[in-house]
Structure 1
């Protein structure tokens, strides 16, 4: 039985000791049987041999037990075994649950790989091997075993023009310049064509900061790219429409600037939306529709439905003729006929639609014809923009512009009348001074009256120029100076053979009243002094008047003569002459600096800003 037990329980420790005990029991039992046997048969030698064997087995077993007892005592007790068995059973249960979770996770992962429309890849950087999901291979037209798992299989399928871009994107992610790897590029398919894919990935770094693994996916975006190109063409048409409208609006008066700014904002928004534009047909900001050649709406977006107040189903049961205003229908049908015959490729017009509630909405329609490969008309693409508010605003602004123009005309007439009356009043004052001077006997007083009369005449001349100017705010200063100097020459009875007048005046200097008036008085005083004092006793010479405009909006006023010049002790700031004081005050009024040169005559330079 002990031998049978050892053979059935081969995991029992010290199984040899059981065999020794079994041998001892068999030998001992055999000696007892031989003692009974020797009662009838005297086989003492055999009985002694069996006892000797029994003794040898018992002694050997006892000796072996000496070294076995410490090991046997070290064996766990039943309680310890029970605790260990319980803990082991718990671990086994936990392991089974973990294995079950892993199996479920593996099943979900396999289902995700089979059901996901994206291709999955897993790159082991240590071995340079890449796992490609079945969907990844299916996208490119390959069977399961047609692509190896080496990295080169992926690299050689990237379009040569996109390889540098892909390499840089991966490198930037590896050095953590970008948090994720994402790139759009072309990949070679089995049939030799290329597909656009959106490739995304995330790297895994070890504790040393070295990339050991990268997992990602790629999505086929070829159709999306093609749709983007079609939408880009549509946006170009919209941009052309916007530019045309902007060109028209620029012709309207400054009161339309707010509308122009709004239009520019729309254009900027359109340009930005072109970069971000990934929305579908129904998310467009304008009405877009496919219209059959017989006029029936075949495909409409929500924006068009909002404009005309119909649901998509209601609108598709109608034609564009059903909702077009009768006054606009003939022109619309004429454009359609020209497109069908190939005379024009696209057309744009402003027209009216009837809304579902019977109201009228103004729209801007841009239509183009899509043809079959054979050239036959297929359908129209229509872009509809609601311009009702803009039409109302244009009507309001046209009315406001008419009122503004009438008001400006009225103010222009009033301003001319003011200039005319001021000029007349100054002439009356000049005439009064002339009459009053006839009663003055003192020659010096008469001269003072005459100077005042001449100064008033120079101011009246400015108002005369203002009255006759088309600008009403500025005069041509060159023409005014020449008329002013001519008037002074007449007053002083200039001998043209003795004194020559030289003018060097920029032709396009325009000055307002506040600047022209003090400049005119300064020129009056300086030219008058030159005519009176520079050439005594009929001496010959020349007077030069220069007015030059500099690029920094500064004007140089230069009055010079080659006469006798100023006295040696002349001090401009301490002179008691009213004329010199007037020149100084007027120069200060226009923020101009006076520079006097008393060499070979006298030269006055006044530089001021416009």
Structure 2
């Protein structure tokens, strides 16, 4: 629930309490007028009306006291919820800053080594850190705190970063994306982001080498109540069909396989097209997920 909406609801509660007080005041005035009318020779039905008004008046007093107590309780809950939301926002902000610090340290480290192989390993680790940092940055910038991520802008920003990081600002890479309008939990987006990171990084480094023209594709569709299917890859040179996560020494391919399992999903390679394409069917993770070693 948004903070603004809760403020509106509290204002409506206060308005109801004010109306209740006005009714009580009018009831009291009418009761006084009827009492005066009766004592100065008014109709015999006046006592009945007075009794009814008194009952209404007492009932409203009791309800008003109960309503005031309930309103105070709601105000206390709203205050506590606002404090928790502020704390959660600060947590995401600090995690994002810490991950960005780690990314900067890795970037500095990669520039100081003389071995190209080690430099590539460090840069790959930096990309993984950035993919997680972007998630917390998006959560920090949200106005509500449902821990749901808009998947489309996240993937677009991640792909743009990876292409710029590997190929530079001038490149021959195009992107083709059909991601719908899905909001996924943080426990789902982080492993998906790492899968996308590994797939696209490998594509940009090995599948589409140098200044070659190439296309990166990422699609996502919903399957059933809680299932999804992600299709991603590149139209580059690809790699042999007999290479698998069990036989390869590539950490990236092993990560893609293990992260798919982490999402309780299945990973299939599409060999009908030129390049390297994967079809990953998975379920959204609502609670905490298992480690990569589980």
CA distance in 2, matches of 1:495, 1:467: 27
Q: Aligned-pair distance for 1:439?
A: 2.7
Q: Are 2:169 and 1:511 aligned?
A: no
- Superposed counterparts of 1:113-128, under 5 Å: none
CA distance in 2, matches of 1:527, 1:395: 58
Aligned length: 245
Q: 1:477 maps to what in 2?
A: 151
- Superposed counterparts of 1:130-209, under 5 Å: none
- SS for the counterpart of 1:536 is coil
Q: Aligned-pair distance for 1:572?
A: 2.8
CA distance in 2, matches of 1:513, 1:537: 34
Larger radius of gyration: 1
TM-score relative to the length of structure 1 = 0.38
Aligned counterpart for 1:530 among listed residues 203, 211, 219: 203
Aligned counterpart for 2:215 among listed residues 531, 534, 542: 542
Q: Are 2:273 and 1:594 aligned?
A: no
Higher relative contact order (CA 8 A, sep 6+): 2
Tell me, which stretches of 5 or more residues in structure 2 are unaligned? 1-7, 11-32, 36-43, 285-294
Q: 2:175 maps to what in 1?
A: 501
Residues 540/602 of structure 1: CA separation in 2 closer, same or farther (3 Å cut): same
User: Contact 2:34 / 2:46 at 8 angstroms: preserved in 1?
Assistant: no
Q: Are 2:127 and 1:398 aligned?
A: no
More strand by share: 1
Q: RMSD over aligned Cα, in angstroms?
A: 2.7
Q: Are 2:156 and 1:427 aligned?
A: no
CA distance in 2, matches of 1:529, 1:471: 35
Q: 1:320 maps to what in 2?
A: 49
User: Contact 2:270 / 2:277 at 8 angstroms: preserved in 1?
Assistant: yes
Aligned counterpart for 1:416 among listed residues 66, 89, 94: 89
Q: Aligned-pair distance for 1:453?
A: 0.9
More helix by share: 2
Q: Aligned-pair distance for 1:598?
A: 2.0
Q: Aligned-pair distance for 1:437?
A: 2.3
Q: Aligned-pair distance for 1:541?
A: 3.0
Q: Aligned-pair distance for 1:511?
A: 1.4
Q: Aligned-pair distance for 1:562?
A: 1.9
Q: Aligned-pair distance for 1:533?
A: 1.6
CA distance in 1, matches of 2:240, 2:53: 91
Q: 1:560 maps to what in 2?
A: 233
User: Contact 1:595 / 1:605 at 8 angstroms: preserved in 2?
Assistant: yes
- SS for the counterpart of 1:591 is coil
Q: 1:362 maps to what in 2?
A: 59
Aligned counterpart for 2:138 among listed residues 443, 465, 468: 465
- SS for the counterpart of 2:81 is helix
